[in-house]
Structure 1
Amino acid sequence: MSLVVYLAAGALALSAAVLFRRPRTTAGKPSALRNPLTVSTCVAIALGAVVFLCSAPMTLAAVNDLTGIPNFGAPLTYGLLSAYSCSLLILLINWRGGPRERVRRLVLRSIAAYGPLIVAIVVLFALADARVERLTDLDTYYANTPYMREMIVLYLLGHSAVMVAMAVVCVRWGREVTGLLRTGLRLIFVGALVDVVGFQLAKYTAVVARWTGHDLDFLSTKVAPPMASLAALICSAGFVLPRLLPAAVGHWRGLRDYRKLDPLWLRVGFVSTAPKPPASWWQLPEERLHWREVAIHDALLALAPYFDDRVRERALSAALGDGRSAHEARVAAEAAMLAAAARRAAAREEPLRTPSTYRLHATEVSGAGGLVELAQALRAPLEVP
């Protein structure tokens, strides 16, 4: 069981790391550390990972040995689970948004509710007699033990309240939104439902069975843990998907355009004087694309004195004669003029006495689209008579 729980913890930690790794210099957007939604999302997912890490039997045994207190891992795990539940509420509050004062008030109320709950869990454990170490069946083994019984019920009720509240909010909010946000809310609802039915109901049933003199421990030890892992992963996907997918699509397009600019960069890169960014393997594709755009525009500016209108006009006539559209012919002609200018610059020839004042299409439009068109035209050069 430890392996399954560790895998869930690793997946959650990776989700938090990926979400936190965002561009910090994007205009008009706060950095990750200043964005309450990003911070609350990362904290909630990271806490979920820590809960799974601490709940693994191997970790519980290590914690008990380290502290010298049998079952010390129980209040630690249950306290962290309550903190995780509180973080989910705070995340949902920040995600839903609204007036700043209202959001702040709701966040403080959540902390005020779950802070005492965590303290109560620790106090109840301290008052209980739990000398026999139980790594997998503590909830059912101590279901009838004074104070331990109350502690177990308390942490379950605290977690149940959050999951039910999340399910209700997701259903209501899902009726008001569309697109990725609705998809994310549906995933969260499914995750909450899996948690309530697969984890909490299994735990409640096993504990109540012990109260009535029956043995359904397998529900608590075999069914509940994997269901909790699955529920947490689905909920995390619901929170992360609406925020990461648009960025992932943007980075994919950035990587695609970056590679499509290779023919243009290989042709003109030697004259660019744009300062190179620090090399880093974790640099995002959009950041690389932005630097390459700047460097190429710098190179085009340096090659402008070599632009020959006669080359462009001959190429334009040839392209139109081949049946290309006006726009395609213009780009092909510009590519031919640019290729000739790059050859003269590479041969260290003198610039033209009367340089062209013509502006390339790629310099008239924003974004990488114009440069990509020019690069693709250079990939298949036009034969100029």
Structure 2
Amino acid sequence: MSLVVYLAALVFGMSSVLLFRHPRTAVRNPLTLSTCVAIVLGALVFVCAAPATLSAVNELTGVPNFGAPLTYGMLSAYSCAVLVLLINWRGGPRERVRRMVLRSVAAYGALVVAIVVLFTLADADTERLRDLDTYYANTPYMREMILLYLVGHSAAMLVMCAVCLKWGREVTGLLRTGLRLIMLGALLDVLGFQLAKYTAVVARWSGHDLDFLSTTLAPPMASLGALLSSAGFVLPRLLPSVLAHWRGLGDYRRLAPLWSLVKSASTAPRPPTAWWQSPQARLQWREVSIHDALLALAPYFDHRLRERVRDTALSAGRSPHEARLAAEAAMLADAARRAAAREEPPETPGTYRLHATEVSGTSGLVELAQALGRPPAATAPGGTGSPSLTGPMTEPEEPHVA
């Protein structure tokens, strides 16, 4: 039981580590900070609720069941943190956000104090690690403490459901997906954890025994609900960054043929290589270096060769854009060969600009790199292919005119 709870706490807490990658920036961002605080408190609730932790806390303090107000107080703090997170996430005028945050903190701070006071007044000398809620359901002050923490947590989850449902109608995309995950997690908490706890406690009040709802059903439902809610909070914040990293890594790899061809001509200083460099940083350096190499190879461009390859590609059925890319790839491969062999530049001066230098971002360079791996004229009905541009280059013959 304890191992499963600890694993849930670990998975729950890892998402806050991902969000807190840059501590200085995170501390100054109320949304990131409140997200991390809520997730960390949720993980601490799992840790505190584990029977092994409860036993250790009780033994360390010498107070039977001292782990109960600790866990319930932590759960109330988590409920407050979730509300604060929703307030910061929704945004609005600064004073209004600050006022709502202070009200939430004050309300749940009073709830934590009440839990501690009620536990102090109660007679709970028998240690219960798994069934404290039902065992003490009829004990004065303990009964009120149990009911109070459940009501406080229920209020937070119901407010979260209402806010997510209302806000979800106003937004789209990843934010709506995240809100739906949060609402699903909150509903699992309400219907799986809290309803099971309420039912088991009320059953004790009426003289029945439904303790299995509290000890067996409620904990996994709480874990699943918390994990879904944390995923909903983290997904809209992390997924765009993850996708950007993934696209950057893909473009970095797709530029490899082009970089392999022109890197000897690049004079851009190479930054210190570090394994933790992001794909975007690596991609940016490769992009700058390729543009530097293209500038260095420009004097070696043979524009007559480019025009011949373009005409051949058009006659083979390629679109004008594909023909232009094939011609530029052939011209670039020839220029790289001439520069490596230290040949004299061809006598075809011009101010022609490559397509890759006319568009922003890496899309043009990626298209040029892909064109290097294709024959200058694709095989079309009635046509024939040509050798790859990355292999040995020979100038194409003049197109035959009927």
State TM-score, norm by structure 1: 0.89
Give SS of 1:145's match: coil
Q: Corresponding residue for 1:157?
A: 151
1:1-385 aligned within 5 A: 1-21=1-21, 31-349=25-343, 356-382=350-376, 384-385=395-396
Amino acid at match of 2:63: I
Amino acid at match of 2:6: Y
**Greater Rg by CA:** 2
Give SS of 2:212's match: helix
Distance 1:78 1:210 in 2: 20
Per-residue CA deviation, residues 58-94 of structure 1 (Å, 9 max, x unaligned), is 2222333344433232222212111111111011111
Distance 2:342 2:125 in 1: 86
Contact 1:57 1:136 survives alignment (8 Å): yes
Give SS of 2:208's match: coil
Amino acid at match of 2:173: G
Alignment gaps of 5+ in structure 1: 25-29
1:32 to 1:294, Cα distance in 2 relative to 1, 3 A: farther
1:326 to 1:99, Cα distance in 2 relative to 1, 3 A: same
Contact 1:191 1:230 survives alignment (8 Å): yes
CA-CA distance at 1:166 after TM superposition = 1.0
Give SS of 2:309's match: helix
CA-CA distance at 1:105 after TM superposition = 1.3
Give SS of 1:208's match: helix
Q: Corresponding residue for 2:381?
A: none
Contact 1:304 1:356 survives alignment (8 Å): no
Contact 2:133 2:201 survives alignment (8 Å): yes
Distance 1:246 1:188 in 2: 18
Amino acid at match of 2:42: G
Distance 2:358 2:107 in 1: 58
Alignment gaps of 5+ in structure 2: 377-385, 387-394, 397-402
CA-CA distance at 1:312 after TM superposition = 2.2
Contact 1:4 1:226 survives alignment (8 Å): no
Which stretch of structure 1 is more off in the superposition, 189-198 or 37-46? 37-46
Give SS of 2:241's match: helix
Q: Corresponding residue for 2:380?
A: none
CA-CA distance at 1:348 after TM superposition = 4.4
Amino acid at match of 2:262: V
Amino acid at match of 2:222: A
Amino acid at match of 1:176: E
Distance 1:224 1:378 in 2: 60
CA-CA distance at 1:31 after TM superposition = 3.9
1:158 to 1:71, Cα distance in 2 relative to 1, 3 A: same
CA-CA distance at 1:108 after TM superposition = 1.3
Per-residue CA deviation, residues 117-163 of structure 1 (Å, 9 max, x unaligned), is 22222333333333332211121222233333222222111101101
Which stretch of structure 1 is more off in the superposition, 372-381 or 264-273? 264-273
Per-residue CA deviation, residues 14-68 of structure 1 (Å, 9 max, x unaligned), is 222333447x9xxxxx944433222222221222122112211122223333444
1:301 to 1:58, Cα distance in 2 relative to 1, 3 A: farther
Per-residue CA deviation, residues 284-305 of structure 1 (Å, 9 max, x unaligned), is 3333323322222222223233
1:352 to 1:100, Cα distance in 2 relative to 1, 3 A: farther
Contact 1:202 1:223 survives alignment (8 Å): yes
Give SS of 2:130's match: coil
Contact 1:206 1:220 survives alignment (8 Å): yes
Distance 2:209 2:125 in 1: 21
How many correspondences in the alignment? 379
Distance 1:66 1:345 in 2: 76
CA-CA distance at 1:354 after TM superposition = 7.5
1:33 to 1:148, Cα distance in 2 relative to 1, 3 A: same
Contact 1:8 1:229 survives alignment (8 Å): yes
Distance 1:69 1:298 in 2: 71
Distance 1:54 1:162 in 2: 20
Which stretch of structure 1 is more off in the superposition, 307-316 or 370-379? 307-316
CA-CA distance at 1:99 after TM superposition = 1.5
Distance 2:374 2:359 in 1: 22
CA-CA distance at 1:164 after TM superposition = 0.9
CA-CA distance at 1:235 after TM superposition = 1.6
Give SS of 1:129's match: coil
Contact 1:57 1:135 survives alignment (8 Å): yes
Contact 2:303 2:348 survives alignment (8 Å): no
Q: Corresponding residue for 1:27?
A: none
